[in-house]
Structure 1
Amino acid sequence: MMSKHFETNSIRINPGKSNQKEHSSAIYLTSSFTFENAEEARATFADEQEGNIYSRYANPNSSDLIEKLCAAEGTEAGIATASGMAAMFGSIASILGQGDHILASRSLFGSTHQLLTRVFPKWGITSTYGDIADVKNWDKLIQPNTKMLFIETPSNPGLELIDLEWAGKFAKAHGLLLVVDNCFATPYLQQPAKWGADLVTHSATKYIDGQGRVLGGLILGRKDLMKEVQFFTRHTGPAISPFNAWVLSKSMETLAVRMDRHCDSALKIAEHFEKNENITAVKYPFLPSHPQFEIAQKQMKLGGGILTLTLEGGITRTKKFIDALKMISLTANLGDSRSIITHPATTTHSKLSAEERNQVGINDTLVRVSVGLEHPDDIIEDIEQALRVSK
């Protein structure tokens, strides 16, 4: 039975028990599924009856994960992919074709930027960036062949926000499909479909897993659009493995309680370092100093688990600071139970030109902190001691 509560659905939606009557969902490590007779096989392939055929198409574990995420996001259908970038790619490639144009927010994950600027142009799909600080003029960026509005909010790594209510109305007014990367917020904190998003994408590798174990992605949305996405992914093959889908579905059971802790700690840490003389800027959606604080309050339940710090000094001091950290991990992932620091200018966004990085607020002294589940005082102390050592 579907509940009105996020936490209950994330725990109680499951593919049903096998004849072993297991309490925790079973793992279906099989590449294909059998049929009782030739007519059942024909009818299943013809979509005249429901049934599993092949794990590239569907598997009880991926179906379980999709059902949970659709309930969480308030969408009609979905598909699970092998990685977050497979989801980003599939959400565009399955819908658009040669000659189509995308309007996108300038602040995007580095690999998404590479898709728009280096991959899709090979197929005749072009794109234009709009600055988040200048959305009132985005209508001037619409071209006759513009078919899609692609946005990321909060953005990676700059934590810029776009008003989802505005985006939904803007897309509808111009006849555009609205695709929202909801990775940073997760469906626990924000549901873009409620504001008019046609497709919602996730890198499930991040918070949905929450422990840095597996890769996965999701595309969720309207049933009519998802038919196109499902056709595309069935025949291009970015299927998630049953084991990874099982891990991610189990992780959904704790997403709410984990996000509560991530967000509480991140706000405490952000408030603490706003007063530090070694930090020139702290950015976090639920800090009143954030430029889009009111938007964050309107569309997000809490501020998320990511904050950015801009250090006093240059890149040499920033590298010394990173190297002086004792507990916080240095890696390119985020959304882990362990706190993580990343230097976007030299890692995740290093393929952007210096000008492109500056346009989205990524300078040499900015670091992204993914706040983990450790005690917030220990995270603060690690950052404090690294700031002292790196002076």
Structure 2
Amino acid sequence: MTPIKMKFGTKAIHAGVEPDPTTGAIMTPIYQTSTYAQPSPGKHKGYEYSRTQNPTRDALQTNLAALENANHGLVFGSGMAAIDAILKLLKPGDEVLSSNDLYGGTYRIFTQIYQDFGIKFKFVDMLDLNRISEHFNDHTRLVWIETPSNPMMNIIDIKGLASVCKKSNALLCVDNTFATPFLQNPIDLGADIVMHSVTKYIAGHSDVVMGALMMNRADLFEKLSFIQNASGAVAGPQDCFLVLRGVKTLHIRMERHCENGRRIAYFLEAHPKVSKVYWPGFEKHQNHDVAKKQMRDFGGMISFVLKDDKLESAISFMEKLKLFTLAESLGGVESLVGHPASMTHASIPREERLKSGLKDSLIRLSVGIEDAEDLVDDLEQALG
């Protein structure tokens, strides 16, 4: 059992992890098996089949639940598989209220898959909750948000929105990928479900694709674990082992991501060739006070626009970088640069992207844990 008063760093290393009972191995073994011996047909209560249960996966699920201060955790073969599982809680005629600034893959599964099954999606600005209630109706079953959002770094008041959702009997799911459980715990603020692309900061080494859901409610856990098993989009034991290894340093890595992110955000803010920097740590950020209240620090994700606001200038800048690698994804130990309009958010129609402020010239940085001076030098030479 996880001691109630364990601090985050201790939980990251110890929660859900016990020495192997057979060998005493400190690291959780990779149970690379599809099936398990049973003493008698129909009466066995232990492990049966690895789509349903796997000891390596169980250890990770317990660990991640503990990090989010949740009672239950489930891991899936990808972040999209985790989102897919949540949407399978719904039925035709149900409505989903979503923030209008979100990951392109999430928008795509909403509008190009589940919308065809009779589920309705409404995308609205949730930065000011004073008028959010008017977007709810008798069919609203799920509210979906990212905070900080991808890629505009918008901050949504989780506690305030959770209160509105409870009055309307709607589930609140928070994509906590950018913040990680080290910086923010939506369950503590009233969210019903927390979703992570484990691929990113939690795994942290750009070598795993995985998703996770955490929740307190036993009924939600029962439904989602049934979906996990019945639909079969489970994470394999090798990937679970890699994440268990990666999560042991999550708190240390996040401290460095935040430190470097702060340094680079202020560098870009002061640079004469940069017009706008999106980072919730700035006091002038629209919801900085909310971020200060619900986050422990402001993370290593930054978006910005060059002063001339030209796509060709943004492309030229990205091509000149040496340490920041142009690549999909984020949250690894290495620094990455991306162009949301043509990469992570290309599936969102341009007119919809522009409504949320996502210009064609926007650049997104995932600031790694390298030496900050080297990262600043790289940005400086690329900016010219």
TM over 0.5: yes
**Deviation of residue 341 (structure 1)?**
0.2
Residue 277 (structure 1) aligned with residue 272 (structure 2) = yes
Aligned with residue 230 of structure 2, among 229, 232, 235: 235
Helix, strand or coil at the partner of 2:334: coil
Of 119-128 and 256-265, deviating more is 119-128
Helix, strand or coil at the partner of 1:346: coil
Matches within 5 A, 1:269-308: 269-308=264-303
Query: Which residue is equivalent to 2:260?
Result: 265
Matches within 5 A, 1:129-208: 129-208=123-202
Residue 323 (structure 1) aligned with residue 325 (structure 2) = no
Helix, strand or coil at the partner of 2:341: helix
Aligned CA RMSD, in angstroms, stands at 1.2
**Deviation of residue 366 (structure 1)?**
1.1
Query: Which residue is equivalent to 2:378?
Result: 382
Which whole-Å CA distance do the structure 1 matches of 2:18 and 2:108 have between them?
Answer: 37
**Deviation of residue 143 (structure 1)?**
2.0
Structure 1: unaligned runs, 5 residues or longer: none
Matches within 5 A, 1:4-19: 4=5, 5-13=7-15, 14-19=17-22
Which whole-Å CA distance do the structure 2 matches of 1:119 and 1:74 have between them?
Answer: 32
> After superposition, what is the alpha-carbon deviation per residue over 1:268-306, rounded to whole angstroms, capped at 9, x for unaligned?
110121111100011111121211110110000110110
Query: Which residue is equivalent to 2:43?
Result: 43
> Given that residues 15 and 63 in structure 1 are in contact (C-alpha distance below 8 angstroms), is that contact kept between their aligned partners in structure 2?
no
TM-score by length of 1: 0.95
Helix, strand or coil at the partner of 1:345: coil
TM-score by length of 2: 0.96
Structure 1 moving runs of 4+ over 3 Å:
none
> After superposition, what is the alpha-carbon deviation per residue over 1:44-94, rounded to whole angstroms, capped at 9, x for unaligned?
4xxxx4x2221111211111111011111111112110001111111221x
Residue 360 (structure 1) aligned with residue 356 (structure 2) = yes
**Deviation of residue 227 (structure 1)?**
0.6
Q: Structure 1 vs Structure 2: percent identity of aligned residues?
A: 34
Q: Which amino acid aligns with 1:352?
A: I
Taking a change above 3 Å as real, the CA distance of residues 374 and 304 of structure 1, as seen in their structure-2 partners, is same
Residue 110 (structure 1) aligned with residue 104 (structure 2) = yes
**Deviation of residue 218 (structure 1)?**
0.5
Which whole-Å CA distance do the structure 2 matches of 1:79 and 1:25 have between them?
Answer: 17
**Deviation of residue 134 (structure 1)?**
4.1
Which whole-Å CA distance do the structure 1 matches of 2:74 and 2:2 have between them?
Answer: 20
Which whole-Å CA distance do the structure 1 matches of 2:86 and 2:24 have between them?
Answer: 37
Q: Which amino acid aligns with 1:90?
A: A
Query: Which residue is equivalent to 2:2?
Result: 2
Helix, strand or coil at the partner of 1:309: strand
Which whole-Å CA distance do the structure 1 matches of 2:206 and 2:98 have between them?
Answer: 29
Query: Which residue is equivalent to 1:373?
Result: 369
Count of residue pairs the alignment pairs up: 379
Helix, strand or coil at the partner of 1:335: coil
Of 292-301 and 353-362, deviating more is 353-362
Residue 82 (structure 1) aligned with residue 77 (structure 2) = yes
Helix, strand or coil at the partner of 1:127: strand
**Deviation of residue 210 (structure 1)?**
0.5
**Deviation of residue 15 (structure 1)?**
4.5
